[in-house]
Amino acid sequence: MQEVAYGTYKNGQIFLDSPACAVAESRVKITFLDKGNSGSSLMDVFNDLGPWEDNRDTETIIADIRNARVTKTDVHL
């Protein structure tokens, strides 16, 4: 499960607004938002990222997704 935690970066440290609710050791991804954005909601993050832009029709997008899928037998290490 993914958990979203917000905080502030200052002097090389990150201070969380509230304790994170991870149940085990977890990797994290840190995204720096505009200074004016407090990151108070997930919608704020979506607004920062902007709208999805794609000129393809729905059928083409779905076909690309299906064609990009791999099965366990397709993976060669």
Write out the residue range of the structural domain in which residue 43 sits: 7-70
Q: According to the 3-state scheme, what is the secondary structure of 18-69?
A: CCCCCCCCCCCCCCCCCCCCCCCCHHHHHHHHCCCCCCCCHHHHHHHHHHHC
Strands 7-10 and 13-16: antiparallel
Answer yes or no: is 32 within a domain. yes
Answer yes or no: is 20 within a domain. yes
Answer yes or no: is 16 within a domain. yes
pLDDT of residue 75 exceeding 60, the answer is yes
Can you give the pLDDT at residue 59? 93
Can you give the pLDDT at residue 20? 78
pLDDT tens, residue by residue, 22-68: 777 778 888 887 665 555 577 777 777 777 788 899 999 999 988 88
Answer yes or no: is 77 within a domain. no
Q: How far apart are CA 2 and CA 32, in angstroms?
A: 18
Answer yes or no: is 1 within a domain. no
Can you give the pLDDT at residue 50? 72
Q: 9 in helix, strand or coil?
A: strand
Answer yes or no: is 2 within a domain. no
What's the pTM value of the predicted model, to 2 decimals?
A: 0.37
Domains held by the chain: number = 1
Q: How far apart are CA 6 and CA 16, in angstroms?
A: 6
